[in-house]
Amino acid sequence: MRLRHLWLALSLWGAVHPMYYFLSYMAANGWSLSQLIDAWYVNDSTRGLTWDLTITAVVLTLWILAEVAVRRNWPALLAIPATFCIGVSCGLPLYLWFRSRPV
């Protein structure tokens, strides 16, 4: 049960911590989402990290869909929008929290 609480705590951290940097960037450079996304492709290093996280998000989504189809754990589908709207750092531990619930 303690591990389940850890998944939820990590999901909250994965939502809040990266969002702090996104909002700080937008406050300093204008509140344009397209400008924020452009910054993800400013050089090969950030481009590589962006693609790494995008591929990870797609793989996580496929894993969630495959497991939900078998386990019928429908609330776990909420981890998909969390992954794409917030990030993998929130979506993955959120899914693990849903998956680790007592059956």
Residue-range domain boundaries for the chain: 2-99
Residue in the structure block whose two tokens are 């950030």:
46
DSSP 77: G
- The dihedral through the CA atoms of 49, 51, 57, 60 has a sign that is negative
Measure CA of the first residue to CA of the last residue in the chain; give whole Å: 12
- pLDDT value of position 93: 98
**Burial zone of 79 (CB within 10 Å; 0-12 exposed, 13-18 middle, 19+ buried):** buried
Q: What is the pLDDT, as a whole number, of residue 90?
A: 98
pLDDT in tens, 20-69: 999 999 999 999 999 999 999 999 999 999 999 999 999 999 999 999 99
Q: What is the pTM of this model?
A: 0.91
102 has a pLDDT exceeding 90: no
